[in-house]
Amino acid sequence: MNKIKQYLQEYSYLKSIQSLLHWDMETMMPTGAIEDRAKRLGYVQGKIHAHITSPEYKKLLKDFAQKKNLSVADKILLKELKWDYDLNFALPSQHVEELTLASAHASHVWAKAKTNNDLKSYLPHLQKLIDLKRREAGYFKAKKPYDALLKLHDKEFTSTQITRLFNDLKKGLIKLTHDVESDGRFVQVKDLKGPFPIEDQRKLSLHVAKIFGLPTDHSRLDISSHPFSINISPLDQRITTRYDVNHLDSLSSTMHEVGHALYEFHLPSEWEGTPFQEAVSLSVHESQSRFWENIVGRSRSFASFIHPEMKKTFPKAMKGIDAEKLFLIFNKSVPGLIRVESCELYYNLHIIIRYEIEEMIFNQGLNAKDIPKVWKEKYKEYLGIVPKNDSEGILQDSHWAGGAFGYFPTYTLGNLISGSLYMKLKKSRPGFEKEIAKGEFSNTLKFLVKNIHSKGRSITAADLVGELGVKDYLNYLEEKFKG
Amino acid sequence: MNKIKQYLQEYSYLKSIQSLLHWDMETMMPTGAIEDRAKRLGYVQGKIHAHITSPEYKKLLKDFAQKKNLSVADKILLKELKWDYDLNFALPSQHVEELTLASAHASHVWAKAKTNNDLKSYLPHLQKLIDLKRREAGYFKAKKPYDALLKLHDKEFTSTQITRLFNDLKKGLIKLTHDVESDGRFVQVKDLKGPFPIEDQRKLSLHVAKIFGLPTDHSRLDISSHPFSINISPLDQRITTRYDVNHLDSLSSTMHEVGHALYEFHLPSEWEGTPFQEAVSLSVHESQSRFWENIVGRSRSFASFIHPEMKKTFPKAMKGIDAEKLFLIFNKSVPGLIRVESCELYYNLHIIIRYEIEEMIFNQGLNAKDIPKVWKEKYKEYLGIVPKNDSEGILQDSHWAGGAFGYFPTYTLGNLISGSLYMKLKKSRPGFEKEIAKGEFSNTLKFLVKNIHSKGRSITAADLVGELGVKDYLNYLEEKFKG
């Protein structure tokens, strides 16, 4: 065991280096260094792949498997290591290179197409990526082609299971959006009016990160064009946000990234480089960010706690806003076309549409040119609105241009898991919402650390919340939007 | 040639990574990540050493040496590569580890000893380092032991040559300090009185970096406890400074680091990883920083150019200060005990004292316990002042605690070279000082790029300025302090 652990620690060092090169590129690097940096990132990625597919590693794995008297934990670790190894070996390097090239091209074309609302130029690139990902699905064993791609992001759920979950969720959400519309409170409330000075936004973000429990001597908050969270090393978690002087989005964005960072920070560092120091899945990772962003950060209790702080920080914008109104503002619900600007109710409908289209692409043969039509029909049916142009339709997200199919559903799976965790937490600590209203987050964090963070990939989502359903999450939403 | 160039490019990538890990540690990293980072730095250092001492590389070098029809440039490159190879191979790894450990300990003890003025606790550690460096000298061929250590920082100069140069310089400098004292202008002028708001200092530093010619899209300016400059990759040069609201030191510190960064930026990037993309020596590197900091940045012409900008930036501090007075302030000359706070005249006397002590340690057997006495005698003799305690004496610098013996003289060798470059530039472009007064620095930079930066280590300091003497530098100082 010691030998393979040592070998994997070197793997973790290489990933650390990759993370730092990436973080620096997105936050600090002078723009003119992009080509230099791309070469260095490519070099490190090559080293990582070589390390984890080497004959030496294969031998270490084999020796580990042949050891007698493996403990239960060892057996789980071995299973996860084998899973990773097979995944790393499954794709011919020629395919990976082709995909890397195609997605680099597609991303470049996509960015221009989005700005110029020029879908036509992008469609052939999207089709190329679809073809490559169809081929990729063939390299893995799976009942349905889409299942193969889903496994790359979350190996617990098949498309059959997700379709069932999302159909149930969709029904519940559509009903709930209608109820919320009739009720009117969350629809009519007006957004806070800026300006929100950026230095004040930054202070508020840092304050929230700290009280949620992210240690200041083990983290940083910086600026990037798209917020992200990254593990530079176990004791060095970095998050980013972006500031707009007219909107206060940085607050929820920070809470989201802090949720990711808290997970990474509490993974057991003695298992560095192994699956036990990795998150269960992208879905479970997302359950943590959503938990802190939505279940904590958009709760009535949190609104009441943060209200005085916000009054102090933004006295003009907060004039005449009481805690209840702040809660309504945090959850303002109107149907919109842009995923990242949506409240919890509509957000999941955006994801379900993307999921259903991906499912049609890979399981039913839908091609790029036919997506916009399906896109419009589904928006009309689920949200009652239709994009006026492709920039606010299919062109809004970068994921597909980057070759990431099967990624979107993890966002909503994460929400579902966060809902079940919420119900579990409420049962085990009925007073937890009162604590949040008082700004006490440590018991909530302890619950997550104990049940999730400290376990790494030694557990599954099913171990965490049982068979995943939509009831807990819908109950949570009903409680919030009808309470 | 192509194979070895490719091999060395990988070497340059590893050094890039090391630089980024280091830069980030000094400027950005959360404090709690220091142990994680030390492990990663150690890992990369090991990889670098393994890469450059591997049997594969040895074979590549041999093949290169055996090629027929090597060009003149190839022959120079081969010679430099062999020099580096021998250097990397000369030290037994056990010695390197012992030294690394001893200097880590000594640095730790030194920092405390400096704060507490506690020389006694530090002396045994200093002696240990002296012993190790004496042993180290034995691993290299050299006429005198100290010469071996000098070669690690600058392979062109022996202690015999430096002693001769420094004796001449010392005489000239002591005479000059007496003349400046009698003259009184540079002694009596009063420093600018702050506060200098830090954001304004930063703006001024960035402004000067830009007009000196450091491209903003290929550089950054950050804060660290000790200013430094670092090459992350050819197109990514980063410098740091520190700000004190009561002193304007950040301006000259930035000019100094910009000088280093301009050198690195203009090294021929097509030779990345080879000696042709490296500086000639530490001395020549220092000649560039000193050129921009002192010869340009403390000139009468520069004072006259920057005067209006400074009046605008610090109107209160600059009240009643004309350009001539600003020039005097930039060159205020009073003997002091602290090296880094000295003007050009006294600065070199500080270095000469350190050099003479190092020479006594390694060529004449001086031991740690006897240094303070020699230190005091020399300060008394050369500067006419004596430290009241060890914190403002032998404990002021970190170099020896880090095991860096033979490093100090490169500072003054750099000054001497910068003086000769100045005389060369004046001859080839008699109008260059008028250009500086107008804020035009591009021709000065072009001269340095053409004659130094673009050549990498394909030249020597002797190629640049002929046999090095002290006349040019002393003439430059006379011109400034008596003009």
**Rama region for A452: left / alpha / beta (φ>0; ψ in -120 to 50; rest):** alpha
Question: Which residue among B27, B50, B83 closes a domain?
Answer: B83
* Token digits of residue A133: 């990902």
Altogether, the residues listed in chain B come to a count of 483
Looking at the fold, whether A143 and A83 belong to one and the same domain comes out as: no
Return the residue of A nearest to B235 by Cα. A33
Taking contacts as CB-CB distances below 8 angstroms, the residues of chain A near B231 are none
B223 contacts chain A (CB < 8 A) = no
Q: What is the distance in angstroms between the Cα of A231 and the nearest Cα belonging to chain B?
A: 11
Question: Which residue among B83, B109, B137 closes a domain?
Answer: B83
Per-residue pLDDT band for B1 (boundaries 50, 70, 90) equals low
Looking at the fold, whether B393 and B306 belong to one and the same domain comes out as: yes
Q: What is the pLDDT of residue B159?
A: 98
* Token digits of residue B249: 């030191």
Q: Do B232 and A21 touch (CB under 8 A)?
A: no
Catalytic residue among A257, A264, A344, A358: A257
| B209-255 pLDDT tens trace | 999 999 999 999 999 989 999 999 999 999 999 999 999 999 999 99
Q: Buried (b) or exposed (e) across A235-247, using 16+ Cβ within 10 A?
A: bbbbbbbebeeee
Distance set, CA A273 to CA A125, A228, A453 (Å): 35, 21, 15
Per-residue pLDDT band for A1 (boundaries 50, 70, 90) equals low
Taking contacts as CB-CB distances below 8 angstroms, the residues of chain B near A39 are 13
Q: What is the distance in angstroms between the Cα of A199 and the nearest Cα belonging to chain B?
A: 14
Instruction: For residues B47-64, give the mean pLDDT.
Output: 95
Return the residue of B nearest to A28 by Cα. B220
Looking at the fold, whether B74 and B169 belong to one and the same domain comes out as: no
- Show the DSSP H helices in B67-197 as ranges: 72-90, 93-116, 119-138, 145-151, 159-183, 185-188
pLDDT averaged over every residue in chain A: 96
B37 contacts chain A (CB < 8 A) = yes
Taking contacts as CB-CB distances below 8 angstroms, the residues of chain A near B16 are 36, 40
Taking the C-alpha atoms of residue A446 and residue A453, their distance in angstroms, rounded to an integer, is 9
CB A153 within 8 A of CB A405: no
Of B20, B30, B232, the CB nearest to A217: B30
Name the residue type at position B288: Q
Residue B192 is classified by DSSP as: P
Please tell me the number of Cα atoms within 13 Å of A432 on its side-chain side. Answer: 21
Q: What is the distance in angstroms between the Cα of A470 and the nearest Cα belonging to chain B?
A: 40
Neighbours of A88 (CB within 10 A): 13
User: Which residues 6+ apart lie within 8 Å of A308 measured at CB?
Assistant: none
Q: What is the pLDDT of residue A14?
A: 97
Q: What is the pLDDT of residue A379?
A: 98
Neighbours of B249 (CB within 10 A): 17
Q: Is residue A160 part of a domain?
A: yes
Which residues are paired to A230 by β-bridges? A238
Return the residue of A nearest to B43 by Cα. A13
Taking contacts as CB-CB distances below 8 angstroms, the residues of chain A near B39 are 13
Which percentage of chain A shows pLDDT scores above 90? 96
Q: Do A39 and B217 touch (CB under 8 A)?
A: no
Looking at the fold, whether A78 and A151 belong to one and the same domain comes out as: no
Q: Buried (b) or exposed (e) across B413-436, using 16+ Cβ within 10 A?
A: bbbbbbbbbbbbbeeeeeebbebb
Q: Is residue A106 part of a domain?
A: no
Q: Is residue B20 part of a domain?
A: yes
* Residue keyed to tokens 């689920």: A382
Taking the C-alpha atoms of residue B29 and residue B373, their distance in angstroms, rounded to an integer, is 41
CB A28 within 8 A of CB B28: yes
Looking at the fold, whether B75 and B206 belong to one and the same domain comes out as: no
Taking the C-alpha atoms of residue B470 and residue B472, their distance in angstroms, rounded to an integer, is 6
Q: Is residue B430 part of a domain?
A: yes
Which residues are paired to A221 by β-bridges? A239
Looking at the fold, whether A61 and A159 belong to one and the same domain comes out as: no
| B91-143 pLDDT tens trace | 998 999 899 989 989 999 999 999 999 999 999 999 999 999 999 999 999 99
| B251-305 pLDDT tens trace | 999 999 999 999 999 999 999 999 999 999 999 999 999 999 999 999 999 999 9
**Rama region for A219: left / alpha / beta (φ>0; ψ in -120 to 50; rest):** beta
Q: Is residue B122 part of a domain?
A: no
Taking the C-alpha atoms of residue B343 and residue B345, their distance in angstroms, rounded to an integer, is 6
Number of domains in chain A: 2
Looking at the fold, whether A182 and A323 belong to one and the same domain comes out as: yes
Q: What is the pLDDT of residue A483?
A: 85
B217 contacts chain A (CB < 8 A) = yes
Q: Is the pLDDT of residue B2 over 70?
A: yes
Looking at the fold, whether A163 and A83 belong to one and the same domain comes out as: no
Looking at the fold, whether A167 and A72 belong to one and the same domain comes out as: no
- In 3D space, the residue among B263, B264, B258, B254 whose CA is nearest the CA of residue B224 turns out to be B254
| B236 sits in which H/E element | strand B236-241
Neighbours of B402 (CB within 10 A): 15
Interface test with A, best of B29, B34, B223, B229 (most A CBs within 10 A): B29
Q: Is residue A110 part of a domain?
A: no
Taking the C-alpha atoms of residue A460 and residue A55, their distance in angstroms, rounded to an integer, is 29
Interface test with A, best of B206, B235, B237 (most A CBs within 10 A): B235
Q: What is the pLDDT of residue B67?
A: 93
Q: Is residue A130 part of a domain?
A: no
Neighbours of A179 (CB within 10 A): 13
A140 contacts chain B (CB < 8 A) = no
Q: Do A30 and B220 touch (CB under 8 A)?
A: yes
Taking the C-alpha atoms of residue B229 and residue B260, their distance in angstroms, rounded to an integer, is 7
* Token digits of residue A127: 């089709």
CB B287 within 8 A of CB B417: yes
Q: How far is CA A37 from the centre of its chain?
A: 26
A6 contacts chain B (CB < 8 A) = no
Looking at the fold, whether A389 and A259 belong to one and the same domain comes out as: yes
Q: Is residue A104 part of a domain?
A: no
Looking at the fold, whether A229 and A375 belong to one and the same domain comes out as: yes
| A313-358 pLDDT tens trace | 999 999 999 999 999 999 999 999 999 999 999 999 999 999 999 9
CB A482 within 8 A of CB A177: no
* Token digits of residue A192: 């806070």
Taking contacts as CB-CB distances below 8 angstroms, the residues of chain A near B232 are 29, 33, 36
User: Which residues constitute the domain of residue B35?
Assistant: 1-83
β-pair type (B219-223, B236-241): parallel
| A27-80 pLDDT tens trace | 999 999 999 999 999 999 999 999 999 999 999 999 999 999 999 999 999 999
* Token digits of residue A443: 């018991």
| B415-454 pLDDT tens trace | 999 999 999 999 999 999 999 999 999 999 999 999 999 9
Distance set, CA A149 to CA A140, A142, A144, A164, A375 (Å): 9, 9, 10, 18, 21
CB B36 within 8 A of CB A32: no
Sign of torsion over alpha carbons A306, A308, A310, A312: negative
Q: Do B218 and A32 touch (CB under 8 A)?
A: yes
Catalytic residue among B136, B257, B344, B356: B257
| A261-297 pLDDT tens trace | 999 999 999 999 999 999 999 999 999 999 999 999 9
CB B409 within 8 A of CB B146: no
**How many contacts does A have with B, using Cβ atoms within 8 A?**
87
Taking the C-alpha atoms of residue B153 and residue B403, their distance in angstroms, rounded to an integer, is 13
CB B60 within 8 A of CB A27: no
Looking at the fold, whether A151 and A86 belong to one and the same domain comes out as: no
Burial (0-12, 13-18, 19+ Cβ within 10 Å), A286: buried
Question: Which residue among B22, B56, B83 closes a domain?
Answer: B83
B40 contacts chain A (CB < 8 A) = yes
* Token digits of residue A455: 């376990």
Which residues are paired to B238 by β-bridges? B220, B230
User: Which residues 6+ apart lie within 8 Å of A248 measured at CB?
Assistant: A192, A194, A196, A201, A314
pLDDT averaged over every residue in chain B: 96
* Token digits of residue B175: 């005479």
* One-letter-per-residue 3-state SS of chain A: CHHHHHHHHHHHHHHHHHHHHHHHHHHCCCHHHHHHHHHHHHHHHHHHHHHHCCHHHHHHHHHHHHCCCCCHHHHHHHHHHHHHHHHHHHCCHHHHHHHHHHHHHHHHHHHHHHHHCCHHHHHHHHHHHHHHHHHHHHCCCCCCHHHHHHHCCCCCCCHHHHHHHHHHHHHHHHHHHHHHHHHCHHHHCCCCCCCCCHHHHHHHHHHHHHHHCCCHHHEEEEECCCCCEEEEECCEEEEEECCECCECHHHHHHHHHHHHHHHHHHCCHHHCCCHHHCCCCHHHHHHHHHHHHHHHCCCHHHHHHHHHHHHHHCCCCCCCCCHHHHHHHHCCCCCCCCHHHCCHHHHHHHHHHHHHHHHHHHHHCCCHHHHHHHHHHHHHHHHCCCCCCHHHCCCCCCCHHHCCCCCHHHHHHHHHHHHHHHHHHHHHCCCHHHHHHCCCCHHHHHHHHHHCHHHHHHCCHHHHHCCCCCHHHHHHHHHHHHC
The domain that holds A186 is classified in CATH as: 1.10.1370.30
Is A257 annotated in the active site? yes
Top pLDDT among B321 and A97 is at: B321
Taking the C-alpha atoms of residue A466 and residue B195, their distance in angstroms, rounded to an integer, is 63
Q: What is the distance in angstroms between the Cα of B195 and the nearest Cα belonging to chain A?
A: 23
